[in-house]
Amino acid sequence: MEYEDFYRRSIDEPELFWLEQAQRIHWKTPPRVILDQSTPPFRRWFVGGTTNLCYNAVDRHLAERAEQLALVAFSTETGVTREVSYRELYGEVNTFAAVLVSLGVGKGDRVVIYLPNIAEAVFAMLACARIGAIHSVVFGGFAAHNLALRIDDAKPVLLIATDAGMRGGKVLPYKPLVDAALSESSYPPRHVLMVDRGLDASMARSEGRDLDYAELRARHAGIEVPVTWLESNEPSYLLYTSGTTGKPKGIQRDVGGYAVAMAMSTRMIFDIAPGQVMFSTSDVGWAVGHSYNVYGPLIGGATSLLYEGLPTRPDPGIWWQLCQRYGVHTMFSSPTAMRVLKKQDTSWLSASDLSSLKWLFLAGEPLDEPTAHWLTDGLGVPVIDNYWQTETGWPAITLMPGLDLKPLKFGSPGLPSPGYRMKIIDEHSGIEQPSHQKGVLVFEPPLPPGCLTTVWRDDARYVSSYFSHFNELLYSSLDWAIRDDDGYITILGRTDDVINVAGHRLGTREIEESIATHNAVAEAAVVGVYDALKGQVPVVFATLKQDAAEDHRVVAQAMQQCVIDRLGAIAKPAQVYIVNALPKTRSGKLLRRSLQALIQQADPGDLSTLDDPGALDEVRRALERGPDQ
């Protein structure tokens, strides 16, 4: 079938289309109603159907592929490789589930998982899914404050953590972050289940609270835990994402719609068939990690390659060596990672046998043309951009080599994915824009299966965050875009105050609040600025309190450390400028877009509402003299 017919059916006959796609998964009870959109913008897919993500990812494959590799967890940091068959995965997940049940975890309970890319992270996620618990994986690079925010919102009954991770050969202790987060949290769970990797010999345990997974695993080995069948629209997991306010949004995913979206997209977009190998370089704490390190490949009966380490260690050919060793069919990574590799000798691309590799998908931030050509020429395979968000759960714009590969166009991730009804509209009038005219990318309800169903315990925030930007009920991506005459869409950047650092979304408000914890800071404004490697980096403009006597360089360094301590190193500002005044409107709104324009030597825009014109001159002088840090 050609893409045009496939897509058109998903839009014109959504219930029939998704009924057909639903046959890709196992249903304990078939759905009674395919789509209920009686209370827009909310919608429910596969109403009345009961299923289970773990069963679809593990149990149903045992009859045909029990001895096939399901998961390869490869660490260049520890030198440990775990190759897990579907039969072994079944055993590990059941054991983990038995441990969870013994600790009182049940259907609807939340479990926060704070683990790096290790096999136990996958076992824990699937074990939660098996018993109907709701998991919330938190990226290991986040600091204690970020972890505490997520704990307080999810209110978990259990936290699963490890003694330490590793990066670049350096041990990164997790336990002190866990202890600090629980001390800050208003709703700390009763127990912390520790996966001790033996990396932090100095790790201290809290008696009665901290439990050793290895001990409990030995006690519950061999126990089989029955599957808890869930109605399609019950929550499966929470994944927190930054917003324009300081409080992260708990993106809530369902069970049945997500399972169907994973089955369809893994096969039709990523061209992964049962028995093939998919290598996603994402961390399990991100949306890509959930969908295409864990659920997508396993639901599809494929092998998932999970990687812990840097793309350049022990050498810049390690990822391509893994592709050769395991016969990777489809690889999924980010432009930032590829730009890191691009700095290395090109010979690393051809040093491995990549005859099995058919596709390289990249997502997370815009893909630049030199990197795209370097990869295409060096690997000899198509490099396919794709666009999506934590909220969508799977690509919203891409090409579909598993169905019908359309021509690649540099700069565009491609065409709308099945089920996404897209428009590009004027931000003021809401009128749809013609081809080649910039506007805001929006989706018409109902959102397809796999997308967020709401914000955890906050339906009002779901509506206000995504559907209240225009008079018409439309999901706003909060991204600028244009469409060409062939329907290809190009993303031009954010319309809000969220910045994209190496594919990771960071709210400027979160960074500003972290900086404000320094007692010398009066006010701070954070903007995202173009960076050749990471896409964007945070840059800070700050004023100090009148009685602050600290050396500017010292206080600027302290501001950076405040961000690292509260949010993690990933959010560290690249530059800090200390100024005497910040540009604001007469109503007191910070002109962040003007700051961003000035640092990039662009037009600062309409300044008719500027309260103090001298503030812009102050910023210009600061840029001329250079950053304080």
Q: Rounded to an integer, what distance in angstroms lies between the CA atom of residue 71 and that of residue 117?
A: 12
Q: Rounded to an integer, what distance in angstroms lies between the CA atom of residue 294 and that of residue 93?
A: 13
pTM (2 d.p.)? 0.87
Q: Rounded to an integer, what distance in angstroms lies between the CA atom of residue 574 and that of residue 560?
A: 9
The domain 498-625 having CATH identifier 3.30.300.30: the answer here is: yes
Q: What residues contact residue 610 under an 8 Å CB cut-off, 6+ apart? A: 583, 584, 585, 586, 591, 616
**pLDDT single digits (tens) 327-345:** 999 999 998 899 889 888 8
Report the number of secondary-structure helices (H) and strands (E) in the chain: 21, 32
Q: Please give the structure tokens belonging to residue 417.
A: 């994915």
Bond from prior residue into 448 cis (ω within 30 degrees of 0):
no
**SS3 breakdown of the chain: % helix, strand, coil, rounded to 5?**
35, 25, 40
- Residue (of 193, 191, 189) closest to 217 by Cα position: 193
**Main-chain phi, psi angles of 214, to 5 degrees:** -60, -40
Comma-separated ranges of CATH 3.30.300.30 domains in the chain: 498-625
| Residue 588 pLDDT | 60
| Residue 607 pLDDT | 64
For helices 552-567 and 144-154, the axis angle rounded to 10 degrees is 40
| Residue 610 pLDDT | 66
| Residue 265 pLDDT | 98
Bond from prior residue into 314 cis (ω within 30 degrees of 0):
yes
**pLDDT single digits (tens) 106-123:** 999 999 999 999 999 999
What value does the mean pLDDT take over residues 611-620?
Answer: 79
In this model, does residue 623 exceed pLDDT 60? Answer: yes
Tell me the pLDDT band of 606, cut-offs 50, 70 and 90.
low
Tell me how far the alpha carbon of residue 99 is from its chain's centroid.
Answer: 28
Mean pLDDT of the chain: 92
8 A C-beta contact, residue 508 and residue 497: yes
Report percent pLDDT > 70 for the chain.
97
- How many beta carbons lie within 10 A of that of residue 551, not counting itself? 9
**Main-chain phi, psi angles of 291, to 5 degrees:** -80, -40
8 A C-beta contact, residue 300 and residue 267: yes
Q: Rounded to an integer, what distance in angstroms lies between the CA atom of residue 84 and that of residue 80?
A: 13
Out of 111-120, 149-158, 546-555, least confident range: 546-555
Q: Please give the structure tokens belonging to residue 359.
A: 């596709």
Element housing 374 (H / E)? helix 369-379
Tell me the pLDDT band of 567, cut-offs 50, 70 and 90.
confident
Tell me the pLDDT band of 159, cut-offs 50, 70 and 90.
very high
8 A C-beta contact, residue 219 and residue 186: no
Q: What residues contact residue 612 under an 8 Å CB cut-off, 6+ apart? A: 581, 583, 584
Bond from prior residue into 418 cis (ω within 30 degrees of 0):
no
8 A C-beta contact, residue 451 and residue 435: no
In this model, does residue 311 exceed pLDDT 90? Answer: yes
Q: Please give the structure tokens belonging to residue 217.
A: 């695993």
Torsion of CA 460, 465, 466, 468, to 10 degrees: 80
Comma-separated ranges of CATH 3.40.50.12780 domains in the chain: 3-309+386-439
| Residue 495 pLDDT | 77
Is the dihedral angle over the CA atoms 373, 374, 375, 379 positive or is it negative? positive
Q: Which DSSP category does 467 fall into?
A: S
| Residue 581 pLDDT | 84
Element housing 557 (H / E)? helix 552-567
3-309+386-439: CATH topology is: Rossmann fold (3.40.50)
**pLDDT single digits (tens) 34-66:** 999 999 999 999 999 999 999 999 999 999 999
Tell me the pLDDT band of 124, cut-offs 50, 70 and 90.
very high
